[in-house]
Amino acid sequence: MNPINYARGLVDEFDGCQRTGDKAREAVVREQLAWVAGELDKVAPEGLSATVRALYEEAKAATAEALASKPKRAVKATE
């Protein structure tokens, strides 16, 4: 698994959830982002090519920004 690509995909999905208002899915994606943020911390950027390092920095910044945003609460269905 490539944490850089995974993080970038999750950020795209997170943005889509926010646009559509899918709060339940947003919560799931937020949990996955928290996990992948830890995986990104394990990457040694000094060993990456300039292009991949730029993608890495982009992924780290986007992940941190998504996690810093205020989580939206899922609406519970009323019966």
Q: Cβ–Cβ contacts within 10 Å for residue 79, how many?
A: 3
Residue of higher predicted confidence among 47 and 76? 47
20-70 confidence digits (pLDDT tens): 999 999 999 999 999 999 999 999 999 999 999 999 999 999 999 999 987
CA dist 72 and 79 (Å) reads 22
- Domain locations in the chain? 3-68
* pTM to 2 decimal places: 0.81
CA dist 56 and 75 (Å) reads 34
